[in-house]
């Protein structure tokens, strides 16, 4: 098993002045750092050829299995700058979710130690790309099939790669309330399907509904269950919560939706604050009637990219409605502030969620600890 990644310095890194300009107002997912981490697997050799190398296009044969049979999974996580260190938020959970996705997609993914080593090494090498202030370094680990064949079977070779992108807010308005579109035409996942796996095909299947949402002047799409078309499941890339007037938080149960790392943290923080959190089915009709009666006082969505964002307005084919007064609710703001303070090292971390990487000690550094 590997103990280190070979370091191959990018011979043409972005200059200091250009990098500073790019970091002033980073757009989400459009700028990338100087390096990437790569690691390969084969039946014969296991995991091998780990590298931190210049970020560059990947070259593949047109018969690569990933193109034809969709064996591709990924994760999303962030690094925050804090007192000379980089802080990650629950990266072990990302490693474990990648493993679950790999199992569902009949793939192979790195064990936790190699997953973390790749992340640590890349963050250390490209630490200059971590924005100050409210920005962060978004990390995208992914695994793709690396076989050349045409035939329906799992691949026998895989590539694991991590790329990094300095980012600001996912939505243009930051923490401002968003407008969502409820799709009554398209479904994202069904029982026994791949809804709980973070695979590219799930997102490809959601794009037409997301385009429909944008055409309707909305920021995101909300999906209903495939069986009955009644029960709210999740957004195109985020989990959803409903706050009722008796203090209860309702969120759709797992099974056909992605088990979000942020979702789990929100549930934990809300319960810690004395809130009753219930994971149960919640119908679109109930959402509408609770909003009309005043029983629903807040709705918010959460995910790694967006953190926590309030929902102000809901649109659908035959109408629309406002959530409460359309503004950000008090619990949404409270949970968002608490979560971000923990992630950025500004608050205590009683659950041991922060993962600290000591920067400036060389790319081979293994100075990692939970703080």
- Tens-place pLDDT, residues 104-128: 999 999 999 999 999 999 999 999 9
Average pLDDT, the chain: 94
- Is 0.85 topped by the overall pTM? yes
pLDDT reading at 355 higher than 60: yes
Residue 298 has pLDDT above 70, yes or no: yes
Residue 202 predicted with pLDDT over 60 = yes
User: Within a 10 A sphere around the Cβ of 16, how many other Cβ atoms?
Assistant: 9
**High-pLDDT (> 90) share of the chain, %:** 89
- Picking from 175, 180, 261, the residue whose alpha carbon sits closest to that of residue 224 is 180
Residue 239 pLDDT greater than 50, yes or no:
yes
What pLDDT was estimated at residue 25?
Answer: 85
Percent of the chain with pLDDT strictly greater than 70: 96
pLDDT band at 295 (very low <50, low <70, confident <90, very high): very high
- The average pLDDT across 65-87 equals 96
The string over 63-88, giving b where at least 16 C-beta atoms fall within 10 Å of a residue's C-beta and e elsewhere, is ebbbeebbbbbbbbbbbbbbeebbbb
Q: Which residue has the higher pLDDT, 22 or 26?
A: 22
Q: Is the pLDDT of residue 74 over 50?
A: yes
pLDDT of 255 strictly over 80: yes
pLDDT-based confidence at 365, cuts 50/70/90?
very low
1 has a pLDDT exceeding 50: no
Q: Please report the pLDDT score of residue 371 as a whole number.
A: 31
Interval 231-245 mean pLDDT: 96
Residue 333 — pLDDT band, cuts 50, 70, 90? very high
All structural domains of the chain, each given as residue ranges with its CATH number in brackets, are 6-172+350-370 (3.30.470.10), 178-327 (3.20.10.10)
Distance of alpha carbon 225 from alpha carbon 204, whole angstroms: 17
pLDDT at 364 over 90: no
The pLDDT value given to residue 174: 66
pLDDT above 60 (res 3):
no
Which of 99, 87, 71 lies closest to 259 in space, CA to CA? 99
Task: Identify the DSSP state of 12.
Answer: S
Burial of 10 (0-12, 13-18, 19+ CB in 10 A): middle
pLDDT at 361 over 80: no
pLDDT at residue 173, rounded to an integer: 65
> Which positions ≥6 away from 274 have C-beta within 8 Å?
none
- Cβ atoms of 321 and 55 within 8 Å: the answer is no
Q: Work out the average pLDDT over 72-85.
A: 96
Q: Please report the pLDDT score of residue 367 as a whole number.
A: 37
Among 168-177, 212-221, 243-252, the range scoring the smallest mean pLDDT is 168-177
Q: For 324-337, what is the mean pLDDT? A: 96
SS (H, E, C) 314-336: EEECCEEEECCCCCCCHHHHHHH
The mean pLDDT value for 28-51 works out to 96
pLDDT of residue 369: 35
Longest CA–CA span in the chain (Å) reads 63
For residue 362, pLDDT over 80 is answered with: no
pLDDT bin (cut points 50, 70, 90) of residue 350 is very high
- Categorize the per-residue pLDDT at 169 as very low, low, confident or very high, splitting at 50, 70 and 90: confident
Average pLDDT score over residue span 41-65: 96
213 backbone dihedrals φ, ψ, rounded to 5°: -60, -45
The confidence score (pLDDT) of residue 165 equals 98
């Amino acid at each position: 098993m590997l103990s280190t990644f070979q370091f191959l310095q990018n011979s043409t890194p972005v200059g200091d002045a250009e990098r500073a300009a790019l970091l002033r107002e980073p757009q989400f997912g459009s700028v990338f750092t100087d390096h990437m981490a790569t690691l390969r697997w084969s039946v014969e050799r296991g995991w091998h050829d780990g590298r931190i190398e210049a970020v560059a296009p990947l070259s593949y044969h047109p018969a690569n299995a990933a193109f034809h049979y969709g064996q591709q999974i990924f994760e999303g996580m962030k690094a925050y700058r804090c007192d000379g260190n980089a802080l990650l938020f629950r990266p072990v959970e990302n490693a474990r979710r990648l493993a679950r996705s790999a199992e569902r997609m009949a793939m192979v993914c790195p064990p936790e130690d190699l997953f973390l080593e790749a992340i640590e090494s890349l963050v250390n090498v490209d630490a200059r790309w971590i924005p100050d202030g409210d920005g962060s370094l978004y990390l995208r680990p992914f695994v793709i099939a690396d076989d050349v064949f045409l035939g329906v079977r799992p691949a026998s070779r895989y590539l694991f790669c991590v790329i990094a992108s300095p980012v600001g807010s996912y939505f243009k308005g930051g923490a401002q309330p968003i407008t969502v579109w409820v799709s009554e035409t398209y479904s994202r996942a069904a029982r026994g399907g791949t809804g709980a796996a973070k695979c590219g095909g799930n997102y490809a299947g959601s794009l037409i509904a997301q385009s429909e949402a944008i055409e309707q002047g909305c920021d995101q799409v909300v999906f209903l269950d495939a069986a009955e078309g009644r029960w709210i499941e999740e957004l195109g890339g985020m989990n959803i919560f409903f706050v009722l007037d008796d203090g209860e938080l309702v969120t759709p149960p797992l099974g056909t939706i992605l088990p979000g790392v942020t979702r789990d943290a929100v549930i934990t923080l809300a319960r810690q604050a004395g809130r009753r959190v219930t994971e149960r089915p919640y119908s679109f009709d109930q959402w509408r009637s609770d909003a009309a009666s005043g029983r629903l006082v807040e709705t918010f969505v959460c995910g790694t990219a967006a953190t926590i964002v309030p929902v102000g307005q809901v649109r659908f084919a035959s109408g629309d409605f406002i959530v409460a007064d359309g503004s950000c609710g008090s619990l949404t703001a409270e949970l968002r502030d608490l979560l971000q303070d923990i992630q950025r090292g500004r608050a205590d971390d009683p659950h041991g969620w922060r993962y600290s990487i000591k920067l400036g000690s060389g790319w081979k550094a293994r100075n990692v600890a939970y703080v």
